[in-house]
Amino acid sequence: MGNSACERLVRREGASLLACGICQASGQISIISSPTIEGFQAWLELQNVPREYSWHRGTNDSADSMIVSYQPPSRAWQPGPMYSSRKNVTEKGHLVIKDSLLNDTGSYTVRVDLGNGTQRATGWLEVHEWENDPGISANTTSAVEYGDPVAAFCHTNVTNATRIRWYVNYEKASSNERVTISPDRKTLILHQPSRFDSSIGCSLTNVLGIPQRSYIALKVAYGPDSVLLKTKPSEFNSVLPAEVGSAVQLDCTSRSSPRPTYRWIHNGSFLSSEASLSFPSLTWEQMGRYRCIVENPVVQLRFYRDIRIQRPRTILVGKPSFYLSGSLVVFFIGMTVLGGVYLCGVLIYTLVTRFSTRYLLLRVKGQAEVYKCPPQTWRTRTDEQGGKEDGRGGVGEVMEKG
């Protein structure tokens, strides 16, 4: 049978045609055909046909089995007993079968009359039904992120594993650290499903190379990842300063699937199951500690955030009617610290400067002592005239330089 696959297919409604050609030796006539599906148009291509020819149904070229014949000089087409409106022959001798049916399966023979003899070639045509899309199922379609794996099964009678392909999130999948595919390619295991996994699909490639796919939707539960608390007025270090009678807004949000449940606890007692709390005019009883609890019932994971509503802290200065708000207190404390640091710097600089000056003076004085003249030598002589009285009435001595 021929190894070439020269097909011309025009899809109609669902089915396929598989044809195999028998090629003769080089220079002789040959039939080249290719696979298709029932309901598609199929071609049996005739090659090396220089003169008149005829197509026959079956393995012989008798007149009773003739489909159609062609005589080049007159370009006349002569239908035979096996002719039908679905069959036609092109000017190049190709046999065309429109809307192929299962009973078109069988042998087809072409006869070519040459000046010095006759040549024949026979090919086999097989028509297959259109295969249904593969079935697909899974052990679960609702998973927990990074939880138990998901096993999907492709239901088909196909034994050729190369015809089966898997898709995760509509992208072709192969075995890796997250995906395991069985040797027969009919089972896929998705390890540690992610929140970004939305579908699993399998496909079959029919004889025409057309993929037929089936998908299942996958829902992965995740979160809450964290709790975000927004307040009006703004909070600092989980403390919200507010005066009695002021407006306060608390909004608790979190990213989760499915949507999480919320609970507000006030001073240890349940307050609300809404995500937000609003106090148009804050009362003294509404002061205190609040906790927002966010929970995903599917994942069985919860997070919470605490916040305390209290009056702004004030510091009285001078008269009782004068007070400093918390922000001013922070400002003055900061300035005091900076002033202390500055004074310490000045003191250290003064001490270092004085020490350096004194050390320099001592060093200069020491160098001056080194260059002093050597001490003079003195000797005593007695006055040649018998001496001289000193102030104490004694005989004095005259000191001379030696």
Q: What is the pLDDT of residue 114?
A: 76
Q: What is the pLDDT of residue 379?
A: 46
Same domain for 153 and 205, yes or no, is yes
Does residue 74 fall inside a structural domain?
yes
Does residue 362 fall inside a structural domain?
no
Structural domain for 76, as ranges = 15-129
Cis before 81 (ω within 30): no
Per residue in 336-348, pLDDT tens? 888 888 888 888 8
Does residue 400 fall inside a structural domain?
no
Beta-carbon contacts of residue 234 (< 8 Å; ≥ 6 apart): 240
Whole-prediction pTM: 0.58
Same domain for 106 and 189, yes or no, is no
Q: What is the pLDDT of residue 194?
A: 96
Q: What is the pLDDT of residue 186?
A: 96
We report the CATH number of the domain holding residue 61 as 2.60.40.10
Number of domains composing the chain: 3
Q: Is 354 exposed, middle or buried (0-12, 13-18, 19+ CB in 10 A)?
A: exposed
Does residue 393 fall inside a structural domain?
no
Q: What is the pLDDT of residue 324?
A: 60
Does residue 288 fall inside a structural domain?
yes
Q: What is the four-CA torsion angle of 11, 12, 17, 23, rounded to 10 degrees?
A: -50
Same domain for 212 and 239, yes or no, is no
Ranges under pLDDT 70 in the chain: 1-30, 32-35, 41-51, 72-75, 315-326, 358-359, 361-402
Give the closest residue to 123 by CA, choosing from 111, 112, 109.
Answer: 109
Does residue 360 fall inside a structural domain?
no
Domain boundary among 72, 105, 129: 129
